[in-house]
Amino acid sequence: SPPATPPAASPPAASPVAASAATAMLLGGAVARHCHACAQPRPLRAKHCRACGRCVCDFDHHCPWINNCVGARNRSSFYLFISLLLADAAAVAALSADALLEPSPHPAPDERPTTLLWLALAVAAPASLLLARFWLHRTRNALANLTTNERLNRRRYAHFRSPNGALVNPFDRGAARNCIAFLCPAKPRTASLLSAA
């Protein structure tokens, strides 16, 4: 006769960690975690912004200039904004320097235009250097298909580690495809649940 099977044991009580893991689900091919602040699933690459009080898909950073998060839906617009600011500051600096260096055929009766040109140059030149650095960081992130948050915190995120522990970029599809994905993002599948900024 077959051996008797032992009675089934009752399942152990769920711990908070197990309950949190149980709320994880598959969304858009990426494992979601649970956002305790929003009380909803949070897909991979999304982050809860404390300043905005919401989860943002492909969270890049919270920008005080625009008083909003930069994320999946507005990062290409933000990149254009930074590009135009840089072009404007560089043009003001270059035109001011050119006007100051070029001898005037008619001497000015007062020094006010020269003072304004020096002031414009003094503001625009450092601003264009700072904006150029910021623009280069945005460009580097677009070429690598990374967000600023991921670049700064990738050592903390498990999906940036290979099985042997080396840092990898699982989102890199080559510079051209990365730029297309950056400039023409697909609508997030969880748009009804999360803000994309």
- The residues annotated as belonging to the active site are 63
H or E stretch including 47?
strand 47-49
Listed residue (32, 33, 58) closest to 46, CA to CA:
58
Q: At what angle do helices 75-101 and 112-144 cross, to 10 degrees?
A: 150
Type of residue at 146: L
Q: Cα–chain-centroid distance for residue 87?
A: 21
CA–CA dist 196, 147 (Å, integer): 13
